[in-house]
Amino acid sequence: MQNNISRWDIFCTVIDNYGDIGVCWRLARQLADEYDADIRLWVDNLDSFSHLCPTIVTDADVQHLEGMQIRRWRPDFPTVDVADIVIEAFACELPASYVEAMAERKIAPIWINLEYLSAEDWVDDSHLLASPHKHHPLKKHFFFPGFTPTTGGLIRERDLLSVRSAFDESDADKFLAGLGVPPRDGTEIRVSLFCYDNAMLPELLQEWADGPDRIRVLVTPGAPARQVGDWLGEQLLPGTQLCRNKLTVQGLPFLSQSGYDRLLWACDINFVRGEDSFVRAQWAQRPFVWQIYPQTENTHLIKLEAFLTRYLQNFPESETVKRFWQRWNGSGEIGASWRDFVAVRASLELHTKVWVGQLDRTRNLADNLVRFVFGK
């Protein structure tokens, strides 16, 4: 699209946690930075947004940030000019008055519903299907992120992988020192922990405390810090460091998105969740463990298997990794599966680099969106 400045409206409702706004914010910034897109981002919950981006003014209806306009999406939606491209993130429903205004435009805007990420096979067939509006001459296109060239791809900024490659051990030590993490003590394994409520966590913490390796777990705020604090019997605040035998846990503050990326690059193993941290852990090219967002009737386990099958193809130790991920997302004894997992971490790191090499051959989500919109 270079040279065609276009106006984009991105609509985001925060269902829970940080993933919805996390994805929209990264995408908005990439479209603005790399494609000169003129972005207006509508968000219904600026409090959640301010965790990822502390400069957000949580009670401002209109504000400008990094070359974009950020609008508080309130129920009394104002009359505004409709953009050329309208992204409705994760099936959030657009304001009725806005849809009517879309229908009144001489040239209908391109209307895209950005879907959740899944590695399931059906995604390739559903990507870019269109659905006509019941009453208006408008068409909505379903845009599916994914892991294959026939999906919408993954969010990956143009220079992400080169900046990641240039980030070496000494950058990692410097970055972690800024968070109060002391220099690595011998063979200590550094782990970052970002998860939902997880019944497996107490047993895993005990395994880490009693196991043979020195482990330092950097614990993100919210559900992870609360659960670790419950296990310790004392609160784990940002900056606090507590030890139990071989295990040291350290509370972290909530980091900016680029700070969180660096945390993933600096740790040896990353526990991630949801959607955006799960993708960023892949770009980090370190062994990672995903806690998928739980859904009713365990439908999330189908998504989990679909990803494991793609990611672990041709990895000789795939069963070891699968078993540990399945335990982390379910039930059963986790200690032994951790010991097996940590034993293969060097080969898993190499495999993860190969996996990222394959993903990198497909285009990224912003690029695919722009090509779709401008028919390239």
Q: Which positions lie near ligand TRH, rule CB under 6 A?
A: 15-20, 22, 52, 194, 220, 254-257, 260, 273-278, 293
CA distance 128 to 29: 23
- Token pair for 184: 């690595």
| 275 carries an active-site annotation | yes
Q: What percent of the residues of the chain are helix, what percent strand, and what percent coil, each to the nearest 5?
A: 40, 20, 40
Q: Do residues 11 and 94 make contact, with C-beta atoms less than 8 angstroms apart?
A: yes
What are the C-alpha distances in Å from 39 to residues 76, 229, 311, 346?
21, 41, 34, 42
What are the C-alpha distances in Å from 346 to residues 107, 168, 228, 269, 342?
55, 17, 27, 10, 8
Phi, psi of 239 (to 5 degrees): 95, -20
Q: What is the largest CA-CA distance in the chain?
A: 69
Task: Identify which of residues 194 and 208 has a Cβ nearer to ligand TRH in the complex.
Answer: 194
Task: Identify which of residues 302 and 346 has a Cβ nearer to ligand TRH in the complex.
Answer: 302
Task: Identify which of residues 22 and 152 has a Cβ nearer to ligand TRH in the complex.
Answer: 22
Count other Cβ atoms within 10 Å, centred on residue 199. Answer: 10
| 124 carries an active-site annotation | no
- For the chain, how many helices (H) and strands (E)? 15, 14
Set 88, 261, 275, 276: catalytic member: 275
Task: Identify which of residues 15 and 232 has a Cβ nearer to ligand TRH in the complex.
Answer: 15
Task: Identify which of residues 271 and 315 has a Cβ nearer to ligand TRH in the complex.
Answer: 271
Set 20, 44, 207, 367: catalytic member: 20
Please give the sequence-ordered ranges of beta strands (E in DSSP) within 115-214, or none if there are none.
Answer: 130-132, 139-143, 189-193
Q: How far is the CB of 257 from ligand TRH (least distance, A)?
A: 4
Q: How far is the CB of 316 from ligand TRH (least distance, A)?
A: 29
Q: How far is the CB of 68 from ligand TRH (least distance, A)?
A: 17
What are the C-alpha distances in Å from 187 to residues 232, 243, 246, 271?
24, 17, 12, 19
List the catalytic residues: 20, 275
